């Protein structure tokens, strides 16, 4: 299989890298993170003008019909700059969910403002009791007149405090952990009964806990068929995993580069500490971890249209490797930098925090290792039955 980029993908990569290099130096990022919204509205509009917000959407939705490889190119470039704009929450998770579940007319109307940067969405799915299980939903949606009434609680909703619209996953039927019976509703973020508690996360991004108390929505707020949102939800999460793994690869690359440069510059006993063989070995281990993540991520990105069993295995393998190798790179970078690596003024500390936190979004290493184990056992059972 040829894993080299096409001419179009190389052009996309060059554009993303150039924007990040020109607009997203460490000081500029610090100011953006410290702002009231936690992202730059001007940069968000620039991303829209460059077409970056349209990359993962189908042509029917007004997008560029980009696949996993194109998504990887964009996310890896954002990872190099530690970009904090709501690309994952609004475009990748919420946007591709709409693209997967809505009919052509409705998806075009809903996604056009996402592509233009005028409206920011977020996917309000996960709940505390379910941990990383996206199908564990206690939030309910009950029919009420011509619409629905929503009640429930959503935790750590990415950019939930600044989003204009929420896509709320609620249960219209079935048990709490059932795959069937999940429905999706578009809810105005400032609708009556919606309470948002926003907060910064340790990696410079933002999250929110969202309470829905007797929130009334019209019938047309329902996306797709009632009780049939599970497939679209998995579609969006799969692309979210590719984006997160790709971002981790970009951040790990810069962490390795910064660490190597520090080993060349820092002197002890009159020589650069990078001349010590033990530190050279640790640097090689960091690079090996980066290449493992990059290889598995590319494999997963090219498998988004593969049969379900293969797709799920490859995505979980990539995410589990990010949790293992990513943490290794982050911890080694801090150790090799020494006290400098712990300072907030040092960019390496922010790369380390983002790499570690990526492990905890959309399932951590333990969760995906368990998924791999269950899929392996299920495959063995099928083979024995045959």
Domain parsing of the chain, residue ranges:
7-119, 122-229, 231-385
Query: DSSP character for 326?
Result: I
Selected from 1.20.5.50, 1.10.10.10, 1.10.540.10, 3.10.129.10, the CATH number assigned to the domain covering 7-119 reads 1.10.540.10
d(CA 232, CA 211): 23
The length of the chain in residues reads: 386
Q: Which residue has 């990539």 as its token pair?
A: 318
d(CA 305, CA 126): 25
Rounded alpha-carbon distances, angstroms, from residue 76 to 173, 197, 220, 245, 333: 39, 30, 36, 8, 19
- Coil/strand/helix, residue 96: helix
pLDDT at position 384 is 44
pLDDT at position 352 is 96
pLDDT at position 5 is 77
Architecture of domain 231-385: Up-down Bundle (1.20)
Three-class SS of 190-227: CCCCEEEEEEECCCCCEEEEEEEEEEEEEHHHEECCCC
Ordered per-residue pLDDT tens for the chain, 386 residues: 556 778 888 999 999 999 999 989 999 999 999 999 999 999 999 999 999 999 999 887 888 888 899 999 999 999 999 999 999 999 999 999 999 999 888 888 999 999 999 999 999 999 999 999 999 999 999 999 899 999 999 999 999 999 999 999 999 999 999 999 999 999 999 999 999 999 999 999 999 999 999 999 999 999 999 999 999 999 999 999 999 999 999 999 999 999 999 999 888 888 888 888 899 999 999 999 999 999 999 999 999 999 999 999 999 999 999 999 999 999 999 999 988 888 888 899 999 999 999 999 999 999 999 999 998 888 765 444 44
Please list, in sequence order, all residues whose beta carbon lies within 8 angstroms of the beta carbon of residue 43, skipping any fewer than 6 positions away.
23, 24, 32, 85
Class of residue 378 by CB neighbours under 10 A (exposed 0-12, middle 13-18, buried 19+): exposed
pLDDT at position 3 is 63
Q: pTM to 2 decimals? A: 0.94
Architecture of domain 122-229: Beta Barrel (2.40)
Class of residue 63 by CB neighbours under 10 A (exposed 0-12, middle 13-18, buried 19+): buried
User: What are the respective helix, strand and coil percentages of the chain, to the nearest 5?
Assistant: 55, 15, 25
Bridge partners, residue 373, by sequence? none
Q: Is the CB of residue 232 less than 8 Å from the CB of residue 97?
A: yes
- Angle of helix 230-265 relative to helix 277-301, nearest 10 degrees, comes to 160
């Amino acid at each position: 299989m040829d894993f080299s980029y096409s001419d179009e993908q190389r052009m996309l990569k060059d554009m993303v890298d150039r924007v990040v290099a020109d607009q997203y130096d460490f000081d500029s990022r610090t100011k953006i993170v410290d702002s009231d919204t936690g992202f730059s509205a001007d940069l968000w509009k620039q991303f829209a003008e460059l077409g970056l917000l349209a990359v993962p959407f189908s042509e029917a939705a007004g997008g560029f019909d980009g696949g996993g490889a194109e998504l990887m190119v964009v996310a890896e470039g954002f990872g190099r700059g530690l970009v904090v704009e709501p690309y994952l929450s609004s475009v990748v998770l919420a946007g591709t969910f709409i693209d997967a579940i809505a009919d052509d007319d409705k998806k075009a109307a809903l996604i056009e403002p996402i592509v233009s940067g005028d409206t920011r969405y977020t996917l309000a799915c996960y709940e505390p009791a379910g941990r990383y299980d996206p199908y564990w939903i206690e939030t309910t949606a009950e029919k009420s007149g011509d619409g629905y009434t929503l009640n429930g609680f959503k935790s750590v909703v990415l950019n939930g405090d600044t989003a204009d619209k929420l896509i709320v996953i609620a249960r219209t039927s079935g048990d709490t952990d059932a795959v069937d019976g999940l429905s999706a509703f578009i809810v105005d973020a400032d609708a009556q009964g919606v309470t948002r508690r926003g907060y910064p996360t340790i990696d410079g991004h933002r999250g929110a806990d969202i309470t829905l108390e007797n929130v009334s929505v019209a019938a047309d707020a329902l996306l797709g068929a009632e009780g049939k949102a599970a497939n679209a939800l998995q579609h969006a999460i799969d692309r979210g995993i590719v984006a997160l793994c790709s971002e981790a690869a970009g951040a790990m690359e810069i962490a390795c580069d910064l660490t190597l440069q520090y080993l060349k510059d820092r002197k002890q006993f009159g020589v650069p500490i990078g001349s010590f063989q033990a530190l050279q070995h640790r640097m090689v281990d960091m690079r090996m971890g980066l290449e493992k993540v990059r290889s598995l991520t590319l494999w997963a990105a090219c498998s988004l249209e593969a049969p379900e069993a293969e797709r799920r295995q490859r995505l979980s393998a990539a995410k589990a490797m990010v949790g293992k190798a990513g943490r290794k790179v982050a911890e080694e970078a801090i150790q090799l930098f020494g006290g400098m690596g712990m300072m907030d003024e040092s960019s390496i500390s922010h790369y380390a925090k983002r790499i570690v936190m990526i492990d905890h979004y959309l399932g951590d290493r333990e969760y995906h290792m368990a998924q791999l184990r269950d899929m392996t056992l299920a495959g063995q059972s099928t083979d024995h039955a045959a």
